[in-house]
Amino acid sequence: MSDAAPWWSVLAAPALLVALALLAVAADGVLSARAAGRPFALSAVARPLLEVPRLLVAQPRRLPAPDMPLWRIGVVTVPVAAVLSVMVVPFGPFAVSGLSVGLVWFNAMEVLTWAGLWLAGWGPNAAFSLVGGYRYLAQGLAYELPLMFALMTPGIGAQSLRVGDIAAAQGGLWFAVWMPVAFAVHLWSVLAFGFTGPFAYPAGGDIAGGVFGETSGPERLLLSAGRWLWLAAGSAMAVPLFLGGGAGPWLPGWAWSLVKTVAVLALLVWARGRLPMIRADRYMEVAWVVLLPLSVLQALVPALVVL
Protein backbone atom coordinates (compact mmCIF):
# COMPACT_ATOMS: atom_id res chain seq x y z
CA MET A 1 0.00 0.00 0.00
CA SER A 2 1.18 3.47 -0.79
CA ASP A 3 0.93 6.09 1.92
CA ALA A 4 -1.10 9.24 1.53
CA ALA A 5 1.17 11.86 0.07
CA PRO A 6 1.32 15.45 1.39
CA TRP A 7 -0.76 18.06 -0.46
CA TRP A 8 2.24 19.65 -2.15
CA SER A 9 2.89 16.41 -4.04
CA VAL A 10 0.23 17.61 -6.52
CA LEU A 11 2.74 20.31 -7.48
CA ALA A 12 5.88 18.24 -6.94
CA ALA A 13 4.89 15.39 -9.26
CA PRO A 14 4.48 17.57 -12.38
CA ALA A 15 7.67 19.46 -11.50
CA LEU A 16 9.56 16.19 -11.20
CA LEU A 17 8.12 14.95 -14.49
CA VAL A 18 9.19 18.17 -16.22
CA ALA A 19 12.67 17.80 -14.69
CA LEU A 20 12.92 14.24 -16.01
CA ALA A 21 11.76 15.37 -19.44
CA LEU A 22 14.38 18.15 -19.47
CA LEU A 23 17.01 15.59 -18.46
CA ALA A 24 15.93 13.42 -21.39
CA VAL A 25 16.14 16.39 -23.77
CA ALA A 26 19.64 17.20 -22.52
CA ALA A 27 20.75 13.58 -22.83
CA ASP A 28 19.35 13.47 -26.34
CA GLY A 29 21.28 16.64 -27.18
CA VAL A 30 24.52 15.03 -25.98
CA LEU A 31 23.82 11.80 -27.88
CA SER A 32 23.06 13.57 -31.14
CA ALA A 33 26.14 15.81 -30.73
CA ARG A 34 28.23 12.67 -30.37
CA ALA A 35 26.53 11.06 -33.36
CA ALA A 36 27.30 14.17 -35.41
CA GLY A 37 30.96 14.00 -34.37
CA ARG A 38 30.95 17.24 -32.41
CA PRO A 39 33.13 17.29 -29.27
CA PHE A 40 31.27 17.05 -26.00
CA ALA A 41 30.53 20.52 -24.69
CA LEU A 42 27.99 22.25 -22.52
CA SER A 43 26.48 23.74 -25.66
CA ALA A 44 25.31 20.27 -26.70
CA VAL A 45 23.23 20.15 -23.52
CA ALA A 46 22.08 23.73 -23.76
CA ARG A 47 21.24 23.85 -27.47
CA PRO A 48 17.91 21.93 -27.33
CA LEU A 49 16.93 23.79 -24.15
CA LEU A 50 17.50 27.16 -25.83
CA GLU A 51 14.50 26.28 -27.99
CA VAL A 52 12.26 27.00 -24.98
CA PRO A 53 12.77 30.80 -24.80
CA ARG A 54 13.00 30.98 -28.60
CA LEU A 55 9.61 29.31 -29.04
CA LEU A 56 8.03 31.37 -26.27
CA VAL A 57 8.79 34.65 -28.05
CA ALA A 58 8.43 33.35 -31.62
CA GLN A 59 5.83 34.91 -33.87
CA PRO A 60 2.99 32.41 -34.41
CA ARG A 61 2.19 31.40 -37.98
CA ARG A 62 -1.41 30.84 -39.12
CA LEU A 63 -2.88 29.39 -42.28
CA PRO A 64 -6.28 30.61 -43.56
CA ALA A 65 -9.33 29.17 -41.75
CA PRO A 66 -7.68 27.14 -38.99
CA ASP A 67 -9.94 25.42 -36.45
CA MET A 68 -8.42 27.31 -33.53
CA PRO A 69 -10.44 25.89 -30.60
CA LEU A 70 -9.86 22.27 -31.63
CA TRP A 71 -6.19 22.96 -32.44
CA ARG A 72 -5.58 24.55 -29.04
CA ILE A 73 -7.41 21.74 -27.23
CA GLY A 74 -5.35 19.13 -29.08
CA VAL A 75 -2.00 20.79 -28.46
CA VAL A 76 -2.76 21.26 -24.74
CA THR A 77 -4.18 17.75 -24.30
CA VAL A 78 -0.92 15.94 -25.10
CA PRO A 79 1.28 17.38 -22.28
CA VAL A 80 -1.62 17.68 -19.82
CA ALA A 81 -2.56 14.01 -20.26
CA ALA A 82 1.10 13.05 -19.67
CA VAL A 83 1.15 15.00 -16.40
CA LEU A 84 -2.21 13.57 -15.30
CA SER A 85 -1.04 10.04 -16.03
CA VAL A 86 1.74 10.15 -13.40
CA MET A 87 -0.70 11.15 -10.64
CA VAL A 88 -1.21 7.43 -9.93
CA VAL A 89 2.47 6.44 -10.20
CA PRO A 90 3.99 5.89 -6.75
CA PHE A 91 7.31 7.59 -6.07
CA GLY A 92 8.89 5.45 -3.39
CA PRO A 93 6.04 4.88 -0.94
CA PHE A 94 4.10 8.01 -1.99
CA ALA A 95 1.62 8.46 -4.80
CA VAL A 96 -0.30 11.68 -5.43
CA SER A 97 -3.44 9.59 -5.77
CA GLY A 98 -3.85 6.03 -4.53
CA LEU A 99 -6.68 5.56 -7.04
CA SER A 100 -7.92 1.98 -6.88
CA VAL A 101 -7.99 1.71 -10.68
CA GLY A 102 -4.69 3.52 -11.32
CA LEU A 103 -3.65 1.15 -14.09
CA VAL A 104 -6.79 1.93 -16.10
CA TRP A 105 -6.33 5.64 -15.38
CA PHE A 106 -2.83 5.58 -16.89
CA ASN A 107 -4.19 3.78 -19.95
CA ALA A 108 -7.05 6.26 -20.33
CA MET A 109 -4.69 9.24 -20.14
CA GLU A 110 -2.38 7.65 -22.70
CA VAL A 111 -5.33 7.17 -25.07
CA LEU A 112 -6.17 10.89 -24.69
CA THR A 113 -2.99 11.45 -26.72
CA TRP A 114 -4.80 9.92 -29.71
CA ALA A 115 -7.42 12.64 -29.51
CA GLY A 116 -4.81 15.31 -28.82
CA LEU A 117 -2.59 14.45 -31.77
CA TRP A 118 -5.46 14.00 -34.22
CA LEU A 119 -6.79 17.43 -33.20
CA ALA A 120 -3.30 18.92 -33.46
CA GLY A 121 -3.19 17.56 -37.01
CA TRP A 122 -6.74 18.70 -37.88
CA GLY A 123 -6.56 22.20 -36.43
CA PRO A 124 -4.15 24.07 -38.70
CA ASN A 125 -6.11 23.31 -41.92
CA ALA A 126 -3.09 21.86 -43.70
CA ALA A 127 -2.85 18.60 -45.61
CA PHE A 128 0.45 17.32 -44.19
CA SER A 129 -0.57 18.06 -40.61
CA LEU A 130 -3.78 16.13 -41.13
CA VAL A 131 -1.85 13.21 -42.66
CA GLY A 132 0.29 13.23 -39.51
CA GLY A 133 -2.82 13.09 -37.32
CA TYR A 134 -4.22 10.16 -39.28
CA ARG A 135 -0.86 8.41 -39.14
CA TYR A 136 -0.93 8.56 -35.36
CA LEU A 137 -4.36 6.89 -35.31
CA ALA A 138 -3.13 4.10 -37.59
CA GLN A 139 -0.11 3.65 -35.36
CA GLY A 140 -2.32 3.80 -32.26
CA LEU A 141 -4.53 0.99 -33.49
CA ALA A 142 -1.37 -1.07 -33.97
CA TYR A 143 0.40 -0.45 -30.65
CA GLU A 144 -2.55 -0.07 -28.29
CA LEU A 145 -3.78 -3.67 -27.94
CA PRO A 146 -0.37 -5.24 -27.15
CA LEU A 147 0.19 -2.36 -24.70
CA MET A 148 -3.16 -2.96 -23.00
CA PHE A 149 -2.23 -6.61 -22.43
CA ALA A 150 1.25 -5.58 -21.25
CA LEU A 151 -0.30 -3.21 -18.67
CA MET A 152 -2.83 -5.81 -17.63
CA THR A 153 -0.19 -8.51 -17.00
CA PRO A 154 1.37 -7.02 -13.82
CA GLY A 155 -2.17 -6.18 -12.65
CA ILE A 156 -3.09 -9.87 -12.94
CA GLY A 157 0.14 -10.85 -11.18
CA ALA A 158 -0.56 -8.51 -8.25
CA GLN A 159 -4.35 -9.06 -8.33
CA SER A 160 -4.89 -5.34 -8.11
CA LEU A 161 -5.36 -2.35 -10.40
CA ARG A 162 -3.79 0.01 -7.83
CA VAL A 163 -0.28 0.84 -9.00
CA GLY A 164 1.02 0.96 -5.40
CA ASP A 165 -0.24 -2.59 -4.79
CA ILE A 166 1.44 -3.79 -7.97
CA ALA A 167 4.77 -2.32 -6.82
CA ALA A 168 4.33 -3.87 -3.37
CA ALA A 169 3.50 -7.30 -4.82
CA GLN A 170 7.03 -7.66 -6.21
CA GLY A 171 8.70 -8.34 -2.88
CA GLY A 172 10.31 -11.57 -3.99
CA LEU A 173 10.81 -11.23 -7.71
CA TRP A 174 10.50 -8.27 -10.05
CA PHE A 175 7.74 -8.67 -12.61
CA ALA A 176 10.29 -7.81 -15.31
CA VAL A 177 11.97 -11.16 -14.62
CA TRP A 178 8.98 -13.41 -15.15
CA MET A 179 6.98 -11.09 -17.44
CA PRO A 180 9.74 -10.13 -19.87
CA VAL A 181 7.44 -9.93 -22.91
CA ALA A 182 5.06 -7.53 -21.15
CA PHE A 183 8.03 -5.42 -19.99
CA ALA A 184 9.50 -5.27 -23.50
CA VAL A 185 6.11 -4.43 -25.06
CA HIS A 186 5.57 -1.67 -22.47
CA LEU A 187 8.97 -0.07 -23.15
CA TRP A 188 8.44 -0.37 -26.90
CA SER A 189 4.99 1.22 -26.61
CA VAL A 190 6.34 4.12 -24.55
CA LEU A 191 8.25 5.12 -27.68
CA ALA A 192 4.95 4.77 -29.57
CA PHE A 193 2.80 7.01 -27.38
CA GLY A 194 5.73 9.41 -27.18
CA PHE A 195 5.60 9.42 -31.06
CA THR A 196 9.35 9.36 -31.13
CA GLY A 197 12.21 7.24 -32.47
CA PRO A 198 10.82 4.30 -34.49
CA PHE A 199 7.33 5.72 -34.01
CA ALA A 200 8.03 9.27 -35.20
CA TYR A 201 5.90 8.42 -38.25
CA PRO A 202 3.13 10.98 -37.43
CA ALA A 203 5.83 13.67 -37.26
CA GLY A 204 7.92 12.26 -40.10
CA GLY A 205 10.22 14.34 -42.27
CA ASP A 206 8.55 12.88 -45.38
CA ILE A 207 5.39 14.87 -44.59
CA ALA A 208 7.26 18.05 -43.56
CA GLY A 209 6.99 17.37 -39.84
CA GLY A 210 3.41 16.07 -39.88
CA VAL A 211 1.62 17.13 -36.68
CA PHE A 212 4.51 19.52 -35.99
CA GLY A 213 4.49 20.92 -39.52
CA GLU A 214 2.29 23.98 -39.00
CA THR A 215 2.80 24.55 -35.27
CA SER A 216 4.92 27.44 -34.14
CA GLY A 217 5.67 29.39 -31.01
CA PRO A 218 4.16 28.24 -27.70
CA GLU A 219 2.00 25.63 -29.44
CA ARG A 220 5.07 23.91 -30.84
CA LEU A 221 6.67 24.08 -27.40
CA LEU A 222 3.65 22.40 -25.77
CA LEU A 223 3.48 19.66 -28.39
CA SER A 224 7.19 18.83 -28.19
CA ALA A 225 7.00 19.03 -24.39
CA GLY A 226 4.18 16.48 -24.58
CA ARG A 227 6.44 14.13 -26.50
CA TRP A 228 9.22 14.24 -23.87
CA LEU A 229 6.79 14.27 -20.94
CA TRP A 230 5.21 11.08 -22.25
CA LEU A 231 8.63 9.47 -22.57
CA ALA A 232 9.32 10.36 -18.90
CA ALA A 233 5.83 9.31 -17.75
CA GLY A 234 6.11 5.95 -19.50
CA SER A 235 9.50 5.35 -17.88
CA ALA A 236 8.12 6.31 -14.47
CA MET A 237 5.23 3.87 -14.93
CA ALA A 238 7.57 1.01 -15.91
CA VAL A 239 9.23 1.18 -12.46
CA PRO A 240 6.22 0.24 -10.24
CA LEU A 241 4.83 -2.12 -12.86
CA PHE A 242 7.91 -4.17 -13.64
CA LEU A 243 10.95 -3.06 -11.61
CA GLY A 244 9.71 -3.40 -8.04
CA GLY A 245 8.85 0.29 -7.48
CA GLY A 246 10.91 1.84 -4.69
CA ALA A 247 12.24 -1.45 -3.36
CA GLY A 248 16.00 -1.74 -2.96
CA PRO A 249 18.78 -1.91 -0.37
CA TRP A 250 20.38 1.01 1.52
CA LEU A 251 18.70 3.91 -0.24
CA PRO A 252 15.20 5.18 0.67
CA GLY A 253 12.27 4.27 -1.58
CA TRP A 254 12.01 7.58 -3.42
CA ALA A 255 15.69 7.41 -4.35
CA TRP A 256 15.33 3.93 -5.82
CA SER A 257 12.26 5.05 -7.77
CA LEU A 258 14.26 7.96 -9.16
CA VAL A 259 17.30 5.84 -10.02
CA LYS A 260 15.23 3.21 -11.80
CA THR A 261 13.15 5.81 -13.67
CA VAL A 262 16.27 7.58 -14.88
CA ALA A 263 17.78 4.26 -15.98
CA VAL A 264 14.67 3.33 -18.02
CA LEU A 265 14.50 6.84 -19.45
CA ALA A 266 18.18 6.68 -20.46
CA LEU A 267 17.57 3.38 -22.25
CA LEU A 268 14.60 4.83 -24.14
CA VAL A 269 16.44 8.04 -25.10
CA TRP A 270 19.34 5.95 -26.39
CA ALA A 271 16.99 3.62 -28.28
CA ARG A 272 15.03 6.44 -29.92
CA GLY A 273 18.17 7.71 -31.59
CA ARG A 274 19.33 4.25 -32.70
CA LEU A 275 16.18 2.80 -34.26
CA PRO A 276 14.85 3.61 -37.74
CA MET A 277 11.31 4.87 -38.25
CA ILE A 278 8.65 2.21 -39.00
CA ARG A 279 5.68 2.83 -41.27
CA ALA A 280 2.36 2.21 -39.48
CA ASP A 281 1.09 -0.24 -42.12
CA ARG A 282 4.18 -2.41 -41.68
CA TYR A 283 4.09 -2.16 -37.90
CA MET A 284 0.38 -3.05 -37.87
CA GLU A 285 1.12 -6.58 -39.03
CA VAL A 286 4.03 -7.03 -36.60
CA ALA A 287 1.87 -5.78 -33.73
CA TRP A 288 -1.19 -7.90 -34.44
CA VAL A 289 0.38 -11.06 -35.84
CA VAL A 290 3.41 -11.31 -33.55
CA LEU A 291 3.14 -9.02 -30.50
CA LEU A 292 -0.55 -9.46 -29.70
CA PRO A 293 -0.51 -13.30 -29.40
CA LEU A 294 2.74 -13.07 -27.45
CA SER A 295 1.20 -10.54 -25.02
CA VAL A 296 -1.89 -12.70 -24.54
CA LEU A 297 0.29 -15.71 -23.76
CA GLN A 298 2.33 -13.55 -21.38
CA ALA A 299 -0.85 -12.46 -19.59
CA LEU A 300 -1.78 -16.12 -19.26
CA VAL A 301 1.40 -16.87 -17.27
CA PRO A 302 0.55 -14.79 -14.14
CA ALA A 303 -3.12 -15.81 -14.50
CA LEU A 304 -2.12 -19.46 -14.13
CA VAL A 305 0.41 -18.73 -11.38
CA VAL A 306 -2.12 -16.70 -9.37
CA LEU A 307 -4.87 -19.29 -9.76
Partner 1 sequence: MEVALFWVLAVAALAGGALVFRVASMARATFALLAALICVGGELVLLGLPYLGVVVVLMMVMEMVIMVVFMVAYMMNPGGLMPMSMLHNKRGALVISAGVFLALAAGILLVPWPAPAVVLPADTTFQLGESLMGGQMLTMMTLGFVLLSTMVGATALVSRRGRYDRYGDDLDRRPADDPAGGGVGR
Q: Which residues bind partner 1 (CB under 8 A)?
A: 65, 67, 69-70, 73, 99-101, 104-105, 107-108, 111-112, 114-115, 118-119, 122, 125, 134, 137, 140-141, 144, 161, 278, 281-286, 289-290
Q: Which is nearer to partner 1, 118 or 256 (CB)?
A: 118
Nearer to partner 1 by C-beta: 256 or 283? Answer: 283
The Cα–Cα gap between 93 and 168 comes to: 9
Phi and psi at residue 94, to the nearest 5°: -100, 140
Q: DSSP H helical segments within the chain, as ranges?
A: 9-35, 42-57, 68-85, 102-122, 127-158, 163-168, 175-178, 180-193, 217-242, 253-274, 280-285, 292-306
- Closest CB 2 distance from partner 1, rounded Å: 16
CA 199, 200, 202, 204 torsion: positive or negative? Answer: negative
> Cβ 122 to partner 1, closest distance in Å?
5
Is the Cβ of residue 58 or residue 115 nearer to partner 1 in the bound state?
A: 115
Query: Least CB distance from residue 9 to partner 1, whole Å?
Result: 20
- Among 90, 113, 114, which residue's Cα sits nearest to residue 103? 90
Distance CA 182, CA 215 (A): 35
Beta-bridge partner residues of 3: 94
Residue 273: CB atoms within 10 A of its CB come to 14
Residue partners of 169: CB distance under 8 A and separation at least 6: 157, 158, 159, 160
Query: Closer CB to partner 1, residue 156 or residue 262?
Result: 156
| CB distance 283 to 139 below 8 Å | yes
Closest to partner 1 by CB, 135 or 227: 135
CB of 189 to partner 1, least distance (A): 15
Q: Which is nearer to partner 1, 134 or 270 (CB)?
A: 134
